[in-house]
């Protein structure tokens, strides 16, 4: 039965969902598969149908290859047809902010005063440009939510079932076969909609220098630290698979090989999921693209009944350049629920534009507070990442010989012909999970060797990937950051404006995060020591040999760190403690309104985010269907 009153406008669907990324796409597809009538509003267009250039070839259409080819993910993040360019603050303090070499004053003719933060305003959201890495969160992340809310459905053991439901694992062939006999100790999913594969560039093994880098780095990492027998045991069980349930349960550390969300070594994400379901059930799932949601329509009882939106291409000012148009004003109505999934920057913005949020912020912008909820837009969290960049003692990696990162080079031909070679990878050759100190409860450092120069995000950063062909970057990523002091707030009441975002780096947790990243830098220096002795590494470009004492390294981290896993801005938790959502994703003090995206996490989960967001998408669908069955 529809929950709508007869006085409401006639509903266009049962569920109206805003945003087709990892959260929104997942929940929309599952609800439609279960027989519900769903409309999915997406601000952008379909990335495989659009045309756009990137820093490698600004005036040439680089789609759909930027989307499809795993090694082109950085170009996808800057492809003009699909990118949303946010400029964020890491610090409120201007002097500290300007110490970051990535600080940008003006962009696209406007003053931005911030650090570039790529997002995708397109079908599939950030799954259309991310690095496709699917790493399972820590079990403690889920148990913490269960503890916080008293809702045992969030316990780690239960949450694994959502991963099993969504995954179609193709990188553990023996285990896949055993699963057919009902034996599944890895607790991978084998029949889900999201395929996972690993891509090991076999050429890498033929490239003597690269093989040496992999071998020596892995060896040094293995020799460092204790528990060698345990790590050998993990290797034998998990075969470098970070998502093997047995390793997840034991918070295992060591060398890992990253699973990617690819199918036949081409990108897959929520775009493919929603298009597939819309094709199979055209009467149930309608996707409305180029539709920028501006407001949730609440009735007098604070019940969400619909969404207002602007129809048109490139309306939002995160596009560079935006169309400059204001679009056609429209509204759609849902008989059951409205679900926001615009991501960590946009869901709080839409809530605030709808009168749901901190009353003083709303009043400042002339918005009538309908639902006072101070937590909206607070609790913004992210990782801290830095790059230790090495210049190798050769002109270019062998695997990059002749590479132009276009569709006419030998690497592309190989990917196109046989879906193999270096373009089938996302550029990562080796990954290490580690604890920054033996006493931290969970592994908190993720170190990844990339065949590229990567020092964080600034406009044009991806162009360097195609030029600097003899670089090796060890990305050091700090998991479970302590800082929860970031904010997303309104810049204005104009829905075409981006919100004001300040991560307030290092404002919580003393110097624990900072010290951990410094330890990460020292660790990768130890790991590369052998390569330097062999003369393979010419020099360390960043931070550089001159930066060696704790103070210098800490300053480097403060001024250079970046993140790309923004989350937590509509956190699950009680309203008194700054929470915005109940444990079933409902916005407090409202009816028929939920948020299902990276905003929901009270604390940033795991090392990577997208696996957790896909999982909560599946969980939300289950909860919503159970609620509908009761009514």
Ligand X SMILES: Cc1cc2nc3c(=O)[nH]c(=O)nc-3n(C[C@H](O)[C@H](O)[C@H](O)COP(=O)(O)OP(=O)(O)OC[C@H]3O[C@@H](n4cnc5c(N)ncnc54)[C@H](O)[C@@H]3O)c2cc1C
Binding interface with ligand X (CB under 6 A): 18-24, 41-44, 77, 118-119, 121-122, 125-127, 129-133, 291-293, 341-344, 346, 350, 564-565, 597-598, 608-611, 613
Tell me whether residue 345 or residue 505 sits nearer to ligand X (CB atom). 345
Tell me whether residue 291 or residue 476 sits nearer to ligand X (CB atom). 291
CB of 312 to ligand X, least distance (A): 12
- Which residues, 6 or more positions from 232, have their beta carbon under 8 angstroms from its beta carbon? none
Using CA atoms, how far apart are residues 255 and 433, in angstroms rounded to an integer? 6
Tell me whether residue 259 or residue 573 sits nearer to ligand X (CB atom). 259
Tell me whether residue 429 or residue 553 sits nearer to ligand X (CB atom). 429
Tell me whether residue 274 or residue 512 sits nearer to ligand X (CB atom). 274
Tell me whether residue 23 or residue 518 sits nearer to ligand X (CB atom). 23
CB of 72 to ligand X, least distance (A): 12
Tell me whether residue 305 or residue 554 sits nearer to ligand X (CB atom). 305
CB of 52 to ligand X, least distance (A): 15
Helix (H) or strand (E) holding 53: none
Whether 254 and 432 have beta carbons less than 8 Å apart is answered as yes
Tell me whether residue 313 or residue 409 sits nearer to ligand X (CB atom). 313
CB of 233 to ligand X, least distance (A): 27
Tell me whether residue 14 or residue 78 sits nearer to ligand X (CB atom). 78
Whether 319 and 43 have beta carbons less than 8 Å apart is answered as no
Tell me the HSE value of 93 on the side-chain side, using a 13 A CA sphere: 9
Q: Looking at beta carbons, which pairs linking 155-159 to residues 24 or more positions away fall under 8 Å?
A: 159/615, 159/619
Of the candidates 188, 198, 186, the residue with the CA atom closest to the CA atom of residue 238: 186
Category of 518 on φ-ψ map: left (φ > 0), alpha (ψ -120 to 50) or beta = alpha
Of the candidates 329, 327, 333, 326, the residue with the CA atom closest to the CA atom of residue 296: 333
- Which residues, 6 or more positions from 598, have their beta carbon under 8 angstroms from its beta carbon? 22, 23, 343, 344, 565, 566, 567, 568, 609, 613
CB of 615 to ligand X, least distance (A): 11
CB of 26 to ligand X, least distance (A): 8
CB of 511 to ligand X, least distance (A): 26
CB of 310 to ligand X, least distance (A): 9
Q: Would you give the end-to-end CA distance of the chain in angstroms?
A: 7
CB of 296 to ligand X, least distance (A): 11
Q: Which residues pair with 502 in a beta bridge?
A: 89, 487
Tell me the residue number closest to ligand X, measured at CB: 21
Tell me whether residue 411 or residue 431 sits nearer to ligand X (CB atom). 431
Characterize 247-286 residue by residue with b for buried, 16 or more Cβ atoms within 10 angstroms of its Cβ, and e for exposed. bbeeebbbbbbbbbbbbebbbbbbbbbbbebbeebeebbb
Q: Looking at beta carbons, which pairs linking 145-151 to residues 24 or more positions away fall under 8 Å?
A: 145/572, 145/583, 145/601, 145/602, 148/572, 148/573, 148/602, 149/572, 149/573, 149/582, 149/583, 150/583, 151/583, 151/584
CB of 123 to ligand X, least distance (A): 7
Helix (H) or strand (E) holding 359: helix 359-364
């Amino acid at each position: 039965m529809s929950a709508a009153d007869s006085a409401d406008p006639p509903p266009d669907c049962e569920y109206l969902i805003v945003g087709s990324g990892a959260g929104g796409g997942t929940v929309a597809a599952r609800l439609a598969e279960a027989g519900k009538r769903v409309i999915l509003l997406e601000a952008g267009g379909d990335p495989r149908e659009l045309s756009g250039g990137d820093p490698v070839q600004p005036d040439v259409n680089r789609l759909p290859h930027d989307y499809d080819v795993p090694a082109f993910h950085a170009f996808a993040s800057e492809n003009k047809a699909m990118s949303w360019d946010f400029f964020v603050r890491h610090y409120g303090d201007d002097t500290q902010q300007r110490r970051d070499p990535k600080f940008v004053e003006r962009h696209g003719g406007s003053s931005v005063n911030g650090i570039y933060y790529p997002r995708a305003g397109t079908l599939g959201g950030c799954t259309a440009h991310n690095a496709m890495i699917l790493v399972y969160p820590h079990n403690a992340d889920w148990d913490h939510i269960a503890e916080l809310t008293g809702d045992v459905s969030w316990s780690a053991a239960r949450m694994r079932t959502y991963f099993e439901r969504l995954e179609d694992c193709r990188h553990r062939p023996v285990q896949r076969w055993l699963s057919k006999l009902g034996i599944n100790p890895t607790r991978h999913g084998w029949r889900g909609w999201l395929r996972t594969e690993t891509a090991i560039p076999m050429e890498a093994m033929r490239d003597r220098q690269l093989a040496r880098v992999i071998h020596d780095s892995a060896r040094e990492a293995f020799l460092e630290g204790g528990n060698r027998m345990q790590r050998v045991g993990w290797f034998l069980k998990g075969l470098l698979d970070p998502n093997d349930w047995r390793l997840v349960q034991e918070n295992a550390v060591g060398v890992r090989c990253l699973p990617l969300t690819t199918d036949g070594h081409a990108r897959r994400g929520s775009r493919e999921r929603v298009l597939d379901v819309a094709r199979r059930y055209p009467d149930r799932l309608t996707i409305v693209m180029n539709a920028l949601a501006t407001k949730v329509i609440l009735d007098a009882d604070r019940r969400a009944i619909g969404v207002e939106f602007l129809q048109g291409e490139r309306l939002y000012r995160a596009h560079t350049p935006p169309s400059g148009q204001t679009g056609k004003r429209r509204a759609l109505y849902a008989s059951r629920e409205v679900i926001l999934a615009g991501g960590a920057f946009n869901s709080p913005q839409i809530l605030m534009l709808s009168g749901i949020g901190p009353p003083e912020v709303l009043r400042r912008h002339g918005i009538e507070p309908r639902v006072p909820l101070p937590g909206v837009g607070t609790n913004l969290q992210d990782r801290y990442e830095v790059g230790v960049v090495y210049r190798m003692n050769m002109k270019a990696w062998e695997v990059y010989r002749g590479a132009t990162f276009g569709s006419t080079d030998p690497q592309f031909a190989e990917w196109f012909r046989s879906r193999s070679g270096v373009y089938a990878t996302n550029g990562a050759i080796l990954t290490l999970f580690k604890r920054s100190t033996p006493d931290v409860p969970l592994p908190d450092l993720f170190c990844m060797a990339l065949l590229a120069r990567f020092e964080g995000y600034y406009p044009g950063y991806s162009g360097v990937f195609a030029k600097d062909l003899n670089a090796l970057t060890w990305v050091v990523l700090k998991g479970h950051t302590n800082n929860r002091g970031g904010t997303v707030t309104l810049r204005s009441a104009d829905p075409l404006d981006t919100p004001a975002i300040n991560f307030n780096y290092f404002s919580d947790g003393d110097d624990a995060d900072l010290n951990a990243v410094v330890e990460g830098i020292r660790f990768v220096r130890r790991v590369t020591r052998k390569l330097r002795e062999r003369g393979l590494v010419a020099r360390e470009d960043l931070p550089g040999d001159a930066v060696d004492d704790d103070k210098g390294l800490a300053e480097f981290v403060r001024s250079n760190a970046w993140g790309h896993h923004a989350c937590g801005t509509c956190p699950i938790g009680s309203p008194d403690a700054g929470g915005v959502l109940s444990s079933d994703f409902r916005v407090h003090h409202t009816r028929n309104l939920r948020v299902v995206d990276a905003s929901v996490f009270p604390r940033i989960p795991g090392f990577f985010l997208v696996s957790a967001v896909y999982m909560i998408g599946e969980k939300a669908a289950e909860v919503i269907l159970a609620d509908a069955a009761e009514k």
